[in-house]
Structure 1
């Protein structure tokens, strides 16, 4: 790319950016509109549904949907419809995408052994979407040159080109192109925001500590894929323990309501 063209492109990106704050008050630079992010997320999810095996286990699918329904019911935007899919895989993983999409792998159900622990992971993943972490990652890639070849899609008004690169830039579970995982500050933020979401939904936030202890044991010293870019196990658990007093009143208040219990026989 010629220097003048590159300068004009970067200038256009900077003009279009929005300086925002995350739910915890951390500064963010966002280049993409909600509509663009939703389109990217929806395209990515459709790609995954076509390439990944979808579980046919109705009991597990209903269980996952039950937990997801309670988590999404406490989100600020109740106009968003959420599409939840259980993928058949030994991966201990889950993800959420802009546009209202949640994917859970059956392998996670062997580690998240009850509704509260599954809600810990789902709350965490939905918190990434709520905090616009995907937008932040794609924007960072653009500004540092990692995604310059796809910049026309962000600036053009006629759809998204090079969508594989964009979807990969979301860092939300898509397995195409270049993966840009969330940074540790974003992971820690999603832990706290997710903890608040699960507590508001009537899931016991104390189980988040047990969940991540289980995660730390899964897969040996490296842990499961879900933990690959996360803070250390001990640091994460310490943060979750420190936040318990803050979120327990939310849980107590939620338990005064009539809540659907999400239960399933132990996964074997």
Structure 2
């Protein structure tokens, strides 16, 4: 009975998402590279809009860190991170011809947080805790940074923003339909649909994006002359450090075991690129 009642609603939501997707043509943000990442992406927001917002957020982050005297505290650490970035940036041309000319910025924030990120347009931050607590080698640090740069090359932030807008719109309209059909609060229906959309659509897509960043990142690091197997060692360290992870199907990131198994395959595939760059482990 309930299945029959919900069928029209389900199709309404699916048609809504399809109409949103149809408004923007599928695009390829990067070439496939040696790792073969060639998934077409549907973008519902413009790159200019996302880049402007990212640049503003980046500057606000730097101002806040500087105000707390946490920005670029260790000159040697900063120089090390920027030297790695200087090798990675030219290698981005293998995936996007425009990327080396982005307005790249690289900074280090003093924090115990195990984190690093690259905003759209090449705005990189590495947290000192990641380097110090995991005692990262240059190859391992390059693996982290290359992974984050890969997210920017693939424009995952822009893609995710569009997906979130689509799911939220579908949930809002679907919630109103549920409220009208069953005579209940539309907010309850919107919450239910939003949760289902997150688990069934947003989280799996996040895991797919993480896998793409792993694969593009490992090739990027290899092209810059870094050991691709360092990515495996990095995630083995992370697995020993970060406990209490949720089940993979509830997480936006792949389980460490899944990630490491995939990286082993692609590390072998890109090994010749590191050798061609003139640097071996």
Coordinate RMSD, CA, aligned: 2.8
Instruction: Give, in angstroms, the shift of residue 56 of structure 1.
Output: 1.3
Distance of 2:74 and 2:165 partners within structure 1:
40
Distance 1:90 1:31, change over 3 A: same
Instruction: Give, in angstroms, the shift of residue 81 of structure 1.
Output: 2.5
Distance of 1:33 and 1:146 partners within structure 2:
18
Verify: 1:219 aligned to 2:232, yes or no: no
Alignment deviations for residues 16-46 of structure 1 (CA, whole Å, 9 cap, x no partner): 5231246412232102222222112101111
Distance of 1:95 and 1:123 partners within structure 2:
10
Structure 1 contact 212–233 (Cα < 8 Å) conserved: yes
Q: TM-score, normalised by structure 1?
A: 0.73
Q: Structure 1: which 4+ aligned runs deviate by more than 3 Å?
A: 9-16, 146-149, 219-223
Distance 1:249 1:10, change over 3 A: closer
Verify: 1:29 aligned to 2:42, yes or no: yes
Verify: 1:70 aligned to 2:83, yes or no: no
Bigger helix share: 2
Which region of structure 1 is more displaced relative to structure 2, 104-113 or 121-130? 104-113
**How many positions carry a matched residue from both structures?**
215
Distance of 1:231 and 1:89 partners within structure 2:
25
Return 5+ residue gaps in structure 2 as ranges. 1-15, 173-201
The equivalent residue for 1:20 is 27
Structure 1 contact 37–99 (Cα < 8 Å) conserved: no
Distance of 2:105 and 2:221 partners within structure 1:
18
1:40 to 26, 45, 53: 53
Verify: 1:57 aligned to 2:79, yes or no: no
Distance of 1:70 and 1:37 partners within structure 2:
26
Structure 1 contact 141–147 (Cα < 8 Å) conserved: no
Q: TM-score, normalised by structure 2?
A: 0.69
SS at match of 1:73: helix
Structure whose CA Rg is larger: 2
The equivalent residue for 1:234 is 257
Which region of structure 1 is more displaced relative to structure 2, 189-198 or 45-54? 45-54
Structure 2 contact 113–127 (Cα < 8 Å) conserved: yes
Distance of 1:220 and 1:141 partners within structure 2:
28
Which residues of 2 match residues 88-127 of structure 1 at below 5 A?
88-110=110-132, 111=134, 113-127=136-150
Distance of 2:224 and 2:72 partners within structure 1:
25
Instruction: Give, in angstroms, the shift of residue 254 of structure 1.
Output: 0.6
Structure 2 contact 21–42 (Cα < 8 Å) conserved: no
Structure 1 contact 142–148 (Cα < 8 Å) conserved: no
Distance of 2:212 and 2:18 partners within structure 1:
30
